[in-house]
Amino acid sequence: MARKREVRFEPAVAKPGALRPAVSPGDDPIDELTVTDVEYRDADFAERHVSGVSAESCLFDSVRFPSTLRHSTLAESTLRVCDLANVQADDSTMIETLIENGRLTGLSWTAGVLRDVLIDSTRADLSSFAQSRLRTVVFRDCDLRQADFQSTEFRNVRFERCNLVGARFTGARIQQHLRFEDCDLTGIYGITALRGATINGGDPQGLASTLARELGITVEWQTGLDEN
């Protein structure tokens, strides 16, 4: 049987060009704000609740994002050491964007879009991307424990060295090329929805136990030889 050919892909992440420093209050997030080529540093917008924000070709460095950021768009931008913990960003879109060394714990990005996005070295446990469309997205060295990918559409998505313990994939839809490399998939839910995915490395025994649980199979692992 011929070995399945690996298709390698990388997100087309844009690099911001010439930027101007953000000026308050004109560049502070409000409903329907549009900003382009703006650099935000050491800003705290956690008390704000906004909708319809559009940020293109921007740099966010050490920024706490608004607690509510629905129906918004982040495009061709970079987020470094940013805090999006518990942000409600449902029905939002992220395109050609890099997130690195961030905190996304409890982020809700449901029914949204991620396209050409790299999320690197970021804590995203308890986050939700349920019912979203992920296209050409890489999660690299991320903490995704108990993350929610239920009914998520995957096309060219790769998880590299991620902790996915207890993550949920029930109802996931794999359109093309979903790959897990050296990930911890212990106790994930909805593993049968991952038909067609590729898993390389990791813990095969833990994965087998998870699959057995979902199929209602009891597995009794032999831990040693019986003594005579």
Give the type of residue at 183: C
What pLDDT digit, counting tens, does each position of 151-181 carry? 999 999 999 999 999 999 999 999 999 999 9
Give the type of residue at 90: D
What would the mean pLDDT of 7-18 be, rounded to a whole number? 88
Which is more confidently placed, 117 or 8? 117
Reply yes or no on whether the pLDDT at 81 is more than 80: yes
Q: Specify burial of residue 148 (Cβ count, 10 A radius: 0-12, 13-18, 19+).
A: buried
Confidence at residue 201, expressed as pLDDT on a 0 to 100 scale? 81
What would the mean pLDDT of 125-130 be, rounded to a whole number? 98
* pLDDT mean across residues, the chain: 92
Bridge-partner residues for 64, per DSSP? 44, 83
The distance from CA 189 to its chain's CA centroid, rounded to whole angstroms, is 17
Confidence at residue 174, expressed as pLDDT on a 0 to 100 scale? 96
* Among the listed residues 107, 99, 58, the one whose alpha carbon sits nearest the alpha carbon of residue 82: 99
What would the mean pLDDT of 76-92 be, rounded to a whole number? 98
Which is more confidently placed, 223 or 86? 86
Confidence at residue 1, expressed as pLDDT on a 0 to 100 scale? 43
Which domains occur in the chain, in start order? 10-81+93-101 (2.160.20), 124-215 (2.160.20.80)
Question: Percent of the chain having pLDDT more than 90?
Answer: 80
* Among the listed residues 87, 91, 92, 90, the one whose alpha carbon sits nearest the alpha carbon of residue 74: 92
Residues near 216 by Cβ (< 8 Å), separated by ≥ 6? none
Reply yes or no on whether the pLDDT at 192 is more than 80: yes
Confidence at residue 226, expressed as pLDDT on a 0 to 100 scale? 53
Q: Which residues of 169-205 are buried (b: 16+ CB within 10 A; e: fewer)?
A: bbebebeebbbbeebbbbbbbbbebbeebebeebeee
- Three-state DSSP at 193 gives helix
Neighbours of 213 (CB within 10 A): 15
Give the type of residue at 190: G
Reply yes or no on whether the pLDDT at 2 is more than 60: no
Which is more confidently placed, 56 or 8? 56
Q: Provide the H-helix boundaries in the chain.
A: 204-214
Reported confidence tier of residue 16, pLDDT bands at 50, 70, 90: confident
Reply yes or no on whether the pLDDT at 212 is more than 70: no
Confidence at residue 41, expressed as pLDDT on a 0 to 100 scale? 98
Reported confidence tier of residue 139, pLDDT bands at 50, 70, 90: very high
Reply yes or no on whether the pLDDT at 26 is more than 90: yes
Q: How far apart are CA 92 and CA 173, in angstroms?
A: 19
Confidence at residue 100, expressed as pLDDT on a 0 to 100 scale? 98
